[in-house]
Amino acid sequence: MPSPTRLLLMLAPALAVVLLLFGGGLLLGVLQSLGYLPFLGQTTLSLAAYQAMFARPAFWQSLLLTLWIGLASTILSTLLALLCALTLRHAFRGHRPVTFLFQLNIPIPHLVGAVGMLFLLSQSGFLARLAHLVGLVQDPAGFPALVYDPYALGIIAEYVWKTTCFTGIILLAALQTIGHDYEDAARTLGAGRWQRFRYVLLPLLQPAILSSSVLVFAFTFGAFEVPYLLGQRFPSALPVLAYRSYVDVDLNARPEAMAISVFIAALSTLLIFIYMRLTRPNER
């Protein structure tokens, strides 16, 4: 095993890239959120951008919408992933092609998935035209609005479609590691199917469920491209609100845009830290 010094030297190139790109970008973002804009002649640090951000009703509406998207996507995808993993752990005819199809969308980018959802769920999309064809609606425009809607249903649908497979593979790997011995022992003691799932399998799966759900929530809370393509103009998700402030023709809006971005990063980090602290006793 290499010494700590040798190990550090081996990791130095990768660590340098991470620290320079991520750390440097984060530091620059924090400085700009504090009003440090030398190209505008502003070099005095202040919290004015954060005060303006918290004073905007649009910020709080965007925050509630983003939390709704993250929580709904995480809960739905986790439940579906658990159901799929429990099904795929058992052998059946066509198990291998079904497993292959289940994980087929993992390499598909979210941007491609968002465009696909737009063509599928919009009022001029495939489902609207199919509903019109079979007589469910008088015309495609009468199809329910599933994109650009106030409940962000199209955004949630894309996240659920994409992250269910990610979570499902993690849970399926955990199930294969657990095996069937614990359930067999519970069965010999008279435990029914629901009791075996509730008191044996679910506690063993809890670390995998919590870790994957934390990753999914952190991603959906801070992602930009899907809410930008499928979300309504107002209120928009926090990353979209930050982007629109950043590209504003008035460069004086730049500090508030960076303040929103720093808030997203800080809140995501805080939520993950609290979540992991609460679940650590259960893992032990």
Q: What is the CATH number of the domain that holds 130?
A: 1.10.3720.10
CB atoms under 10 Å from CB of 66, counted, come to: 27
Looking at residue 1, its pLDDT comes to: 57
pLDDT per position as a tens digit, 126-157: 888 888 888 888 887 788 888 888 889 999 99
Q: How far, in Å, CA of 92 to CA of 61, rounded?
A: 48
Q: Is residue 20 in some structural domain?
A: no
User: Taking 70 as the threshold, does the pLDDT of residue 264 lie above it?
Assistant: yes
Query: How many helical (H) and strand (E) elements, i.e. helices and strands, does the chain have?
Result: 14, 0
Burial class (CB within 10 angstroms; exposed 0-12, middle 13-18, buried 19+) of 88: buried
Q: Is residue 30 in some structural domain?
A: no
pLDDT per position as a tens digit, 196-217: 888 888 888 888 888 888 889 9
Tokens of 33: 């959120």
Q: Is residue 42 in some structural domain?
A: no
User: Taking 70 as the threshold, does the pLDDT of residue 282 lie above it?
Assistant: no
Q: Is residue 11 in some structural domain?
A: no
Q: Is residue 4 in some structural domain?
A: no
Domain count for the chain: 1
Looking at residue 9, its pLDDT comes to: 80
pLDDT per position as a tens digit, 10-67: 878 877 887 787 777 788 888 888 888 887 778 788 888 898 889 889 899 999 999 9
User: Taking 90 as the threshold, does the pLDDT of residue 80 lie above it?
Assistant: yes
CB atoms under 10 Å from CB of 208, counted, come to: 21
Q: How far, in Å, CA of 170 to CA of 16, rounded?
A: 30
Looking at residue 186, its pLDDT comes to: 81
Model confidence at 234, in pLDDT bands (50, 70, 90)? confident
pTM of the model: 0.85
Q: Is residue 116 in some structural domain?
A: yes
Mean pLDDT for the chain?
85
Q: Is residue 29 in some structural domain?
A: no
SS3 139: coil
CB atoms under 10 Å from CB of 48, counted, come to: 15
For residue 149, CA distances in Å to 1, 27, 73, 232 come to 56, 36, 16, 6
User: Taking 60 as the threshold, does the pLDDT of residue 102 lie above it?
Assistant: yes
Which residues span the domain enclosing 144?
47-283
pLDDT per position as a tens digit, 159-192: 999 999 999 999 998 888 888 787 878 888 887 8
By the 8 A CB rule, do 169 and 103 touch? yes
Q: Is residue 205 in some structural domain?
A: yes
Q: How far, in Å, CA of 1 to CA of 16, rounded?
A: 23
